Every structure is written in C-alpha cells, then in structure tokens.
Amino acid sequence: MKKYRVGILGATGTVGQRFVQLLQGHPQFEIAALAASERSVGKTYAEACAWKLTGDIPENVSGLEVQPIEPPLDCDIVFSGLPSKVAREAEAAFARAGYPVVTNSSCYRMDEDIPLLIPEINADHLGLIPIQQEKRGFGTGFIVTNPNCAICSFAPPLAALHRKFGVEAVMVTTMQSISGAGYPGVSAMDIADNVLPYIAGEEPKVETEAQKILGSFTGQAVEKADFVVSAQCFRVDVIDGHTVSVRVKLAKPSTLEDVIEAMREFPTLDLYSSPEHFIEVLEEPSRPQPRLDRDRGNGMTVTVGRLFPDNIFDYRFVGLSHNTVRGAAGATILNAELLISKGLI
Amino acid sequence: MKKYRVGILGATGTVGQRFVQLLQGHPQFEIAALAASERSVGKTYAEACAWKLTGDIPENVSGLEVQPIEPPLDCDIVFSGLPSKVAREAEAAFARAGYPVVTNSSCYRMDEDIPLLIPEINADHLGLIPIQQEKRGFGTGFIVTNPNCAICSFAPPLAALHRKFGVEAVMVTTMQSISGAGYPGVSAMDIADNVLPYIAGEEPKVETEAQKILGSFTGQAVEKADFVVSAQCFRVDVIDGHTVSVRVKLAKPSTLEDVIEAMREFPTLDLYSSPEHFIEVLEEPSRPQPRLDRDRGNGMTVTVGRLFPDNIFDYRFVGLSHNTVRGAAGATILNAELLISKGLI
Amino acid sequence: MKKYRVGILGATGTVGQRFVQLLQGHPQFEIAALAASERSVGKTYAEACAWKLTGDIPENVSGLEVQPIEPPLDCDIVFSGLPSKVAREAEAAFARAGYPVVTNSSCYRMDEDIPLLIPEINADHLGLIPIQQEKRGFGTGFIVTNPNCAICSFAPPLAALHRKFGVEAVMVTTMQSISGAGYPGVSAMDIADNVLPYIAGEEPKVETEAQKILGSFTGQAVEKADFVVSAQCFRVDVIDGHTVSVRVKLAKPSTLEDVIEAMREFPTLDLYSSPEHFIEVLEEPSRPQPRLDRDRGNGMTVTVGRLFPDNIFDYRFVGLSHNTVRGAAGATILNAELLISKGLI
Amino acid sequence: MKKYRVGILGATGTVGQRFVQLLQGHPQFEIAALAASERSVGKTYAEACAWKLTGDIPENVSGLEVQPIEPPLDCDIVFSGLPSKVAREAEAAFARAGYPVVTNSSCYRMDEDIPLLIPEINADHLGLIPIQQEKRGFGTGFIVTNPNCAICSFAPPLAALHRKFGVEAVMVTTMQSISGAGYPGVSAMDIADNVLPYIAGEEPKVETEAQKILGSFTGQAVEKADFVVSAQCFRVDVIDGHTVSVRVKLAKPSTLEDVIEAMREFPTLDLYSSPEHFIEVLEEPSRPQPRLDRDRGNGMTVTVGRLFPDNIFDYRFVGLSHNTVRGAAGATILNAELLISKGLI
C-alpha cells in the first residue's frame, strides 16, 4: 500500500509530539518532514524537541532536520499542531501551495467554508472543500479542522441524542487536564492542591463548535444545529483526559433505555484509527474516570457514564475523552484517514 | 465571660479534629470532654487520635481521656462529628438526656422538626426547637444541624438571589476535596491523576437540602422553597475546599449589577466565628481557587467568582467554601454561637 | 507450544491484578484458577475484584469463580501476590502439595534455602531448590521468590558494579510510589502535597535483600555478598515507579566510562518477559523520571541516570524501575519463565 | 519603637511576595518601597503582581508604585529577592550607595568577604562586614546573605552535631518543593505523577554552603569547616517544604541520647522572627512531613525526625524546613533583625 508522506507543522509542541507518536507504525502515513518555529530550524528533531511522552523519540524521526513553517515541504499532506496565532497565515500558505492541510488549530474552525469534523458524525461536511477552494483560491489545496478537545468529550453522545431525539439545550461543566494547555502550559504552582475556574478563550469555543459539528450540510453550506450550549470550564490536576458533566434537554421524550441504545449503537467507522466502539456507555457507578478510561480504543473511544434522568433537563451524564488523542492529534489523523477513504487526497 | 463546657462526639475523626483546632482560644467555649468509638475509649486523646492537621495536638486536650459516646458527659453542650450510622441513636440519647446537640451529621438534616441552619440565612428556623422537644420528648435537650459541605459553597449566594429575585432552578456541578471523605477516606490510588465522578449519597443531599435552608418558618413548620436543584458531584485531588459550578434561573429579571450587589450586601452576623464578609464576590477572571481562597474569613467566608449572565439560565457563577470549616466544624460552632446569642443555651 | 496452567493467589489485589494483566497474550501461561480471601470466594472475578488498571477486566478471567487460598487448585504452577501475613502458611501448603510456587511475598525471601531471584543476576541460586525440597519435605513442590520492589531499582546496576569492581558500601534513599502500598493503601489525605518519611518494615528489607541476591551459590548455600547497605525510604505522590538515589563505594578503582559500560553491557536474558535492555543508562541531565521511564521495556527495564563520581563514595546515580512490574508481578512471571527454561517445571 | 523603612527588590516574585506577607504586622519594619523589573515599573503593586499566596494583597502595599531596581530608593534597608542574574550588579549598586542589603540571592553567598548567615549558628560572621566595606569600597553600605533553601533543612541539626562532636562527612538527598523554583517555575506537566532528579545548579550549592556557614571567623576571614558534603537533589510534587534525607559521620563517638540533646538544646535567638524552638526533634515514626510540619514556628523552625544510628555512617535523620520562609524570605528578615540587634543598622 502506498504510504502518504506527512509534514508536521509545530512538530516539537505537545500536539506535534503526539502526531509523531501516533504515526509510528501507521499503515497509511510516514513522517517525511518536520517544521517548527525559528529557534528549532536547522536542528535535528532530537535536539529541538523536549520530548515529554513516555519512552524515547522514535528513531525514524530523531535525526530529521527541522524545517521552517512555510511551503514547500517535501510531503503529500500537512498535519498542523500550530498555536492559533501563527496557524492562520501558515496554514493558508500551505493550502494555497496545493497541500491538503489537516489541522488541530482553532483559528479556522468556525469559518463557514471550513469543515469542522468528527468523522463518525459529520463526514458529509467534506462537501465544503470545493466551496472553500473556490472562495479562497486554494487550487487543489484545502483545510479541514477538528474540534476543541473539550467538545470531543460530549459532542459524540450529544450527536447520538440529536440524531434520534433532537437536542434543545445542553449545559456542560468541564474538568480539563493540564496537557490541554500544552508545554510548559500550566504552572505546577497554580494547579497543585487546586482547581482553576478559568481557561482563556475556552468557554466560547465550547459553546459554539458543537452546533456546527451537528449541523446539516445543504450542498452549499452547513446549517448549524439550533440548540444552545452553556459551558463553564475548569482545569484540574489530571495529566490527560477531559471529564465533562452534561445535562441535556431533548426535543422529544425518550426512555433511558432508548438513550443508552442511541449512544451504544452510534456507528463507528472503518478507518485505521477508528476505535471498535466510538462511544462506550459504562454502568459502574464510579466511571468514567480519566486515568482508567482515557486510553479506551487507544484513546479514540469516548466514554459515557452516570447516565440518568435529570430533574431539570431530560438526562444527565458524564463524558470523557483523551484530550491529546481523540481531542487533538488522533482527531487530526482520523480526519486525514477520512480524506483518503473519500479519495480527497 | 462564662465559658460553656463542650463535649465533642467523634473527637478523633476529621471533623472532630477540626472542632479541637477551631475551639483553641475561643472566647465562649472550652473543651471539657471528648468521646469516640470503643477502640479509643480509655486512651488519652493523644494516644487515640491520628492527628492530621498542621502542628501538634493542642496541649489542653492531648491528655484528656476519651469517653464512650453516650450520656452523661461532663459538659454543657455537645458538638457532634459522628458518622451518620452511629449519629442517629447517639445524638437522640444526648438530647433526651437534656443536652443541646449541635451536629454536623447528616442523619437528622431533613427531619421536619430539626433546624438545618446556616445562621446568616435562616436563624428563625430555631423556632422548630420547642416543636421538636415536644414531639420527641427531649425535655430541655434538642438537636440542630448544619448542611452538607457542598451546599455551603452555593446556598449562600443562592439565598442572596432568592431573597431579592426568587429562584426557580439551579444546576450545580461540584468539584469536592478529598478531606470531605474523612480519613483515611479516598485512596491515593483512586485520586492521583484522576477525577472521581461519584460520591456515594451526595447528589440527593445536594438536591434537597438547599430548599429546606431557604424555606420559610411558618411558626409551625418550615415550608421548603420551591425551586428544583440538579446536582452532579465529583471528587478532585484538592485537600480542602469545595468548588461548585452553578447556573441559576431567577423568578424575576435582574441586572448583573443587582445580582452582584445582592450577594455582596447579604448581611453577616455579629457572632465570634462570623466572617467580616459572609459572601465575597471576586472579579479577577481566574478566581475563586480552592488553595488561594478557602481560608478567607478564617475559612468561614463563601467566595463567588466568574459571575456572568448564562446563555440558558439567567446567571452562572463559581462558588467556593472551606468544606471542613464553613462546611463542617466551623458551621457547627457557628450554630452553637447562634444558640447562645438567642439565649437557647 | 504447551501452555502452563497458572493459579493466582491473591488475585484481586494490586499485584494479583497485574498478574492478570501481564499474562494476557503470554505464550507460555494461561490463567486457570484464581484464589483470594474468603469474602471473594464463590464470586466471579468481575464481582470480587475492584479492578484498578486501565481498561476492563480481561474477558477470559472475568467469569472465573474465585477459589479459596488452599490446595488443590486446578493448575500447573502457582503465582502468589498474597500479603505476607497469610502467605507463609498458604504458600508452604501449596509447595507441600507439589506445586511450584513463584511468589512476590516477602515472607520467605531471606530464608536460607529459598532462592531470592532476579533472573538476569542470580539464576544459579535455583540450585537451592533441591536443598529446600529435602529440608522442608516439599516433594516435587518448591518456592522461589523475587525481591522487594525498591531493591529492583538499584540491585541491577549494583550487580553490574559488583561483578566488575566489587562493592563495599551502598547508601540509598528511596522515593517510592503509592501503588507499592497496594489498594486502598495510602490515604490521599496523607500524600497530597506531601512526602511520607516512613514505610513500615521497608528499610530493613532494603538493607538486607541485595546482599543475598548478589551472593554466591556454593552448591550448598548462598554466601551473602559482604557489602553494607544503608536505606532511608520515602513515599511520594507518584502512581507507579520507585526512584532511588544511590551512592556506592567500590572495592577497586574504576573510570566513569568503565562503570557506564559495566551497566550497559550487563546481559539480558532470552525469556519472554526479559526486556531488550536489562539496564538502560540515560545521559540527559533530568532523567530518569518515573512517569517517563517506568514503562521502558514494558516495565521490565531498570533505568539509570545522573551517573557521576561522588565526592564521598566512588559513584552516585539515580535508579528507577516499575514497582508493580519489574518490582512485583513482572518479576514473578520472569521467575516462572526462568523455571521453564531451566526445565524445573 | 522606630520602624525601619524597607525597600524590596524583586517585589513581585515568589520571594518578594513572601517578604510582603511576612512583614505584615512586623514591629521593626514597614514596607516603604517596592522595586521590580522594567515591565512592572510605574504600575501599582496590585497591577504588577500576580499574587500567589492565600488571601488578598495587603492593603498597605497594593497601591504602592513599583520602582526600578536601582538606587536611590526611599528606605533605610534593602531586602532582595532578585534572581541571581540581575542580583550581582544591582545589589552592589545599592551597597555602594550606602544601603544595608540583606539578600536571598545566591550570587554573593560564597564570596569570601560576604557573610552567609543563619543567625542562630554563625552571627559572628558579621565581622566580615568592615572587611567587605573596605575591600569593595562600599562605605557604610554592605551585603549579607542567607543560604540556599535546601541547606536550611539540614545545616541546623548539622551545626548542633558539629559543635558537640565534629562532623566529617554528610550525605544528603533532597526532596524539594515546587515553590523553590519560583513562578511559573516548574511546569505541571513535568511534576504531576512524577519526580524530577535534577535541579539546575543545586547540587554544587548544597555541597559547598554548609562548610562556610559552619566555619570559624578568625577576625580576618571565615575558615570553612572541613567536612565534605555529597548531595543529590530531587524535585517532588509538594507546594512548600524541603525534605532532606541525611547521613552524617561524626568526628567523635556519641550516643543517640547525646545527639538528640545536642539538637534540642541548640539555642534559639531572641529576635522577632526566631521560633521558640530552632530545631524540633520529633519521635513519631512518620514525621516530619512537609504538609504537617513546614509551618512549625511560623515556618522558622527546622524539624528533625527518624533520627537513628546508621549502618554505614554514624547517624541518619530526616530534616525539614519551609523553603520560602526559613529557606528564603524569613531567613532574610531574620538576618535584618540580627543586624538591628547588633547595632549594624
């Protein structure tokens, strides 16, 4: 099988390191180029990167020379883990130069002509690509994005409910892990014996992205789903895994059994990184827990627990996903696998 | 000034130790008797107690001999930090023997004739005492209780809103500290790098106690406030301080300024343990935080932050209080101070 | 290849769960019987066990019925993760009944006729088995043990030095993880924002086991190595992985290069659970770290770093190993693999 | 009583904040001027400072305008919490301008003519001041320093032993808290579920400062004590309090009773910040612990526990002190109190 040659933007960062880790042994991709900010350019990846994942830097990349974040890069597809500030310009430059850009950055997520994808939910939003290419003059290049990490802990079960029963309102309170802030990210002095009630810019993202993801592609545009989301976002002293407390108001009545079934039967995909179960619903009273459940499905399964009728809205539950896998690097890779399966790269 | 002689039930436990600590230097109380379970009886407090607070066991109690948990105890008033299982019978026995019993236990909180007090909010519920004495044949003894620790992080700001604007519905998600589970309580293996989505029995307490506290005393009974509470309760790796995310739906419209003012101007009391500010509203974006704010007002102030309009309900905010002070031992002591100020002991 | 049928004693505990996890997919062993204390007997493993490892209980064991801890068990070999108190009698009963018993318990480790094994170091101590069988009347059964978890973080590099240069004295200070105390083990209230300077019974074990492991088998007995060990043992808030600070005084002079080479070239074995590198020596200044390095070699590699000349003794270094894999369940399994390779089962 | 007017250099940093906190209510000092780096100059302290201690910024300083770090400052004495890089030049400038400079910075500690003080141990080293003034042309200004925070956890008990029995060698392994690295300091991603085996520049400091502190002032110079120190330094996930494991080889034999007595009877001073007990020796097996013992003597007491004969050196013990109080800001303030008591300011 032909392997696509991948260039990674922001290769030395938290998401970039996960790309490198998750692409080891991947049957469809091989890492061909690494790009990072100026102070890394010209160094080998091993020299430039403060590797923070378990084990050593994989041998096949440790000696690669870090390139600047600009086209051309010697690769077939670009994966981006760039911070938003630099992503907007750099990713457009790559798209304009003809590269497919799959990105974890937040800057393009809410642009009307950019697909914001969770492949199991809204693969048809890929229909935006030709519209985007025409509007932005991208030629054969394009940009697709994946959602904010916190979204991934509740949008999948929400999609299951939305599809079956309709959703009117969602209240979420997130307990997000420290890896979500990158490295060095959160100071140990801020999080030890503590909870932080504020993550800059997070609540608006959580309150707007789900409606686009669960929206309908009309052939011309994505019509957003018309429920409203209220989000309060917290940082807790957990390394990986965002836990979300959710109450949801449905458009039509449903039994608890139907709700559980809607989640459990939500189909997964036949892509390499797709987990066997997209959504797992646990019935043990004290699950999901980030340390015990974040790695289900190699970090790509979304886990739901404590699913009960609520006494204000219809149902309450707790959602959990691995924020740097399902919520970041793994999501981007899954998007790339989807593009291949649809013949778009 | 005459000092009341205090007997502490459950003196060796987490709440009992806080009683001992908080009563050091108290102008109205002196510790006269300590009672604990059988395996401690006959030992000195220093021998029986695995002291978990900073510093040493205070000298004035370390040599006291631990008594059994049954009347008589040589004291004027009984403070109870007993676990619910043993509290119901033991506390009734003391009340029947003529002691005023101020307790942190949960077992009597929702009984119709037992005051469930936050003195700044519902001191008039003390009117239940004669009703209780008559109904239960307590003679001159009686029982008063304070609420669950998680309640104390949101009932005070809620009371401020309820009094001014009326409250229709409240959604809370709690992030509770490990000290709330006592000692040994939570296993380190369960909470390290983790969040627990379940605290046994907690959600029903949080969903029912606030309505009684904010209820009206009719002269005969407490009529519960008629809002509904939805609670999801989590344990996080914080030593002290329960953080609560809150959305509230009001009965009548109000501006943000009015809401802030209602909280800030909610009156404190002139009791020894009353803080200068019952409720503090912080405007810094990243507050309150348990480690930085739990000790405000010597642990008796309730801190509110991130108070904003919500896009589903009317307002959202984050509440915080020190769970073993305002939420447990300090609450019990404040109740006792209230009883003295009202001439009830 | 024939699979040996394994019975696990103490199957529901921390070490027992690791046995179950590590034996998944093992080419030489299959789990045939699970035994645990009375309150678990008769339940399925899923019912009896509070599973604390990531993911779910493996399907091939979740339905097995838990047996009492006494022979007979329907198996070829017994793996024991029993607490010391019950292990002494139970393990002897199984050995007497003809079972090979490989155990992680501490109770037999220092008995003269019982091999205390790290297979890469002292496989020849298996010569004690016939002596043991005769002395204890075990018939064809026998007991072999593996060392205390803290030993495994420094005995391997020490063995490398001892073999090449001789060792006269070793000072170790351990920083041990919470999983070393089992479950529930350490209270979160004791370890949050804290270090514990005491682990009951640990320092004497650490000060005596290494001399036996590095001792010589004379054909009749193990003559202990004659260096002296000083140990101070601490508990830190780390989930898995014991970090040990070591200073060592050698019997003959050696260069740093020779010391590094001695460690790096210490041979590994050709057993299924043997890591590719028995000892890895890292040169990055801030390694080893438990979170990043405990899983090297699937938890079976011992990592060394900060290896420098000392200004009192000859050399100093930091050793690290995974306490529930290399230091417990993995060690026991490796012992069993060694027994098979030597034709002893 | 006349209050000395204090100027604080590095006022917004971790040590600077502790100065501000500890000087509240101090009978001899009032804060008159705050200086910090350029980006803070001209702002009020409240604007410039990310306050990380409990409660609010004290009112008497929150409105003070931050000054540049250069003379003149309107004050009688300068307290410095500057990072070493900028301290060397700035502190000399203040001394040259006639200010007494008491500093926590490391840059001058090992200079021959600069006193490195723990007032209870070596107040006579103040005799270096005239020598320093002459050599450096400081006029009436001068610099005195306090030791590295890790030193303070073992130098006091060591001084007690050195004075009575002589010390020949000391092996220490430190477990240092995150506050020792300042703010933001240690990344949460580095310390969660982890131990760091390396603190840049720390081991050499710990291996050299104690000999100067315990040295003798000859009238002309400090002759260093001639024992040797070996240090391995670790960072652990503790907020405040450095725990140190120590083995010590004495020059003459002594009983355990004599060793305990030497520590307990080591005299404290009659200064405002001196604790009632300079050294406390605890006999409970599991003490000292940073969370429970760091605040003894308002953070100025050094706690010793697990004091036993060692089987290589003579004795082993665990030392603990509060690294930002006894080990930093409190030490500097105590030095200033000593200067007043000796008539040097």
Percentage of chain B modeled with pLDDT above 90: 98
DSSP string, A47-101: HH----SSSPPPHHHHTPBEEPSSS--SSSEEEE---HHHHHHHHHHHHHTT-EE
A316 touches chain B (CB under 8 A): yes
Tell me, yes or no, if the pTM score tops 0.95. yes
pLDDT at residue B54, rounded to an integer = 86
Q: Higher confidence at residue D94 or residue B1?
A: D94
Distance from CA of A276 to the nearest CA of B (A): 24
Residue pair A317/B198 in contact by the 8 Å Cβ criterion: no
A240 contacts in chain D (CB < 8 Å)? none
Active site residues of D: 149, 242
Residue pair B248/B158 in contact by the 8 Å Cβ criterion: yes
Residue A55 pLDDT > 90: no
What whole-number distance in Å separates Cα of residue B58 and Cα of residue B46? 9
Residue pair A177/A259 in contact by the 8 Å Cβ criterion: no
B237 contacts in chain A (CB < 8 Å)? 193, 236-238
Tell me whether residues A186 and D185 touch, CB distance under 8 A. no
Write the pLDDT tens digit of every residue in D213-231. Answer: 999 999 999 999 999 999 9
Closest partner residue to B288 among A171, A197, A313, by Cβ? A197
The CATH number of residue C229's host domain is: 3.30.360.10
pLDDT at residue D284, rounded to an integer = 94
Write the pLDDT tens digit of every residue in A90-123. Answer: 999 999 999 999 999 999 999 999 999 999 999 9
Q: Is residue C217 domain-shared with residue C337, that is, in the same domain?
A: no
Residues 6 or more apart whose Cβ sits within 8 Å of residue B82: B9, B10, B13, B69, B90, B91, B103, B105
Residue D1 pLDDT > 80: no
Catalytic residue among C107, C152, C162, C242: C242
Nearest CA in chain B to C238: B192
Output the average pLDDT for chain A. 97
B52 touches chain C (CB under 8 A): yes
D232 contacts in chain C (CB < 8 Å)? 173, 245, 247, 306, 316, 318
- The domain of D284 spans 151-322
Alpha helices in chain A (DSSP H): 14-22, 45-48, 59-62, 84-96, 119-122, 128-136, 155-165, 188-191, 202-213, 256-264, 290-293, 330-341
Residue pair C279/C264 in contact by the 8 Å Cβ criterion: yes
Residue B1 pLDDT > 80: no
Cβ-count burial of D25 within 10 angstroms (0-12 exposed, 13-18 middle, 19+ buried)?
exposed
Tell me whether residues A296 and C53 touch, CB distance under 8 A. no
Catalytic residue among A75, A149, A152, A233: A149
C-alpha dihedral (A279, A283, A286, A291), degrees to nearest 10: -30
Q: How many structural domains does chain C have?
A: 2
Percentage of chain A modeled with pLDDT above 90: 98
Write the pLDDT tens digit of every residue in A227-272. Answer: 999 999 999 999 999 999 999 999 999 999 999 999 999 999 999 9
Mean pLDDT value across residues D173-195:
97
pLDDT at residue B3, rounded to an integer = 95
- Beta-strand ranges (E) seen in D45-178 are 66-67, 77-80, 100-103, 142-145, 167-176
What whole-number distance in Å separates Cα of residue C13 and Cα of residue A259? 36
ipTM: 0.96
C187 touches chain B (CB under 8 A): yes
Write the pLDDT tens digit of every residue in A208-222. Answer: 999 999 999 999 999
Mean pLDDT value across residues C322-338:
98
Q: Is residue B301 domain-shared with residue B167, that is, in the same domain?
A: yes
- Of the pLDDT bands very low, low, confident and very high (cuts 50, 70, 90), residue B173 is very high
- 3-class DSSP state of B66: strand
Cβ-count burial of C43 within 10 angstroms (0-12 exposed, 13-18 middle, 19+ buried)?
middle
Q: Where is D223: in which H helix or E strand? A: strand D222-223
B237 touches chain A (CB under 8 A): yes
* Cα dihedral across residues D85, D90, D93, D94: positive or negative: negative
- 3-class DSSP state of B205: helix
Residue C149 designated active-site: yes
C306: left (phi over 0), alpha (psi -120 to 50) or beta: left
Closest partner residue to C187 among B184, B193, B237, by Cβ? B184
What whole-number distance in Å separates Cα of residue D2 and Cα of residue D12? 27
What whole-number distance in Å separates Cα of residue B339 and Cα of residue B119? 10
pLDDT at residue B310, rounded to an integer = 98
D291 touches chain B (CB under 8 A): yes
Output the average pLDDT for chain D. 97
Residue A141 pLDDT > 80: yes
Tell me whether residues C54 and A193 touch, CB distance under 8 A. no
Distance from CA of B239 to the nearest CA of C (A): 7
Q: Is residue D126 domain-shared with residue D168, that is, in the same domain?
A: no
Tell me whether residues B187 and C190 touch, CB distance under 8 A. no
Write the pLDDT tens digit of every residue in C109-143. Answer: 999 999 999 999 999 999 999 999 999 999 999 99
The CATH number of residue B111's host domain is: 3.40.50.720
Tell me whether residues D293 and B54 touch, CB distance under 8 A. yes
What whole-number distance in Å separates Cα of residue B95 and Cα of residue A239? 49
Q: Is residue C227 domain-shared with residue C285, that is, in the same domain?
A: yes
Amino acid code (one letter) for B123: A
B188 touches chain D (CB under 8 A): no
Write the pLDDT tens digit of every residue in C226-245. Answer: 999 999 999 999 999 999 99
Q: Is residue B143 domain-shared with residue B279, that is, in the same domain?
A: no
Catalytic residue among C49, C75, C107, C149: C149
Residue A284 pLDDT > 90: yes
Q: Is residue C164 domain-shared with residue C135, that is, in the same domain?
A: no
pLDDT at residue A173, rounded to an integer = 98
Q: Is residue D57 domain-shared with residue D203, that is, in the same domain?
A: no
pLDDT at residue D2, rounded to an integer = 81
- What value, to the nearest 5°, has the Cα angle with vertex A172 and ends A167 and A178? 140
Q: Token pair for residue D22?
A: 């500890």
What whole-number distance in Å separates Cα of residue D72 and Cα of residue B199? 59
pLDDT at residue C184, rounded to an integer = 95
Nearest CA in chain D to A240: D189
pLDDT at residue B55, rounded to an integer = 82
A198 touches chain D (CB under 8 A): no
Residues 6 or more apart whose Cβ sits within 8 Å of residue D97: D71, D72, D141
Q: Is residue C71 domain-shared with residue C54, that is, in the same domain?
A: yes
pLDDT at residue C54, rounded to an integer = 86
Q: Is residue C317 domain-shared with residue C333, that is, in the same domain?
A: no
- The 10 Å Cβ neighbour count of residue C238 is 30
pLDDT at residue A167, rounded to an integer = 98
Residues 6 or more apart whose Cβ sits within 8 Å of residue A180: A149, A150, A199, A235, A242, A323, A324, A327
Q: Is residue B93 domain-shared with residue B115, that is, in the same domain?
A: yes
Tell me whether residues B295 and D192 touch, CB distance under 8 A. no
Bond into D285 cis (ω within 30): no
Residue D123 pLDDT > 80: yes
**CA within 13 Å, CB half, A140:** 7
Q: Token pair for residue A159?
A: 């999609």
Active site residues of B: 149, 242
- The 10 Å Cβ neighbour count of residue C244 is 26
Alpha helices in B107-216 (DSSP H): 119-122, 128-136, 155-165, 188-191, 202-213
Q: Is residue B119 domain-shared with residue B159, that is, in the same domain?
A: no
pLDDT at residue A293, rounded to an integer = 97
Q: What is the DSSP letter of D263?
A: H
Residue C1 pLDDT > 80: no
Mean pLDDT value across residues D167-187:
97
Residue C75 designated active-site: no
Q: What is the DSSP letter of D44?
A: B
Residue C55 pLDDT > 90: no
Give the residue carrying structure tokens 């009238």.
D219
Q: Is residue C60 domain-shared with residue C99, that is, in the same domain?
A: yes
What whole-number distance in Å separates Cα of residue B239 and Cα of residue D292? 13
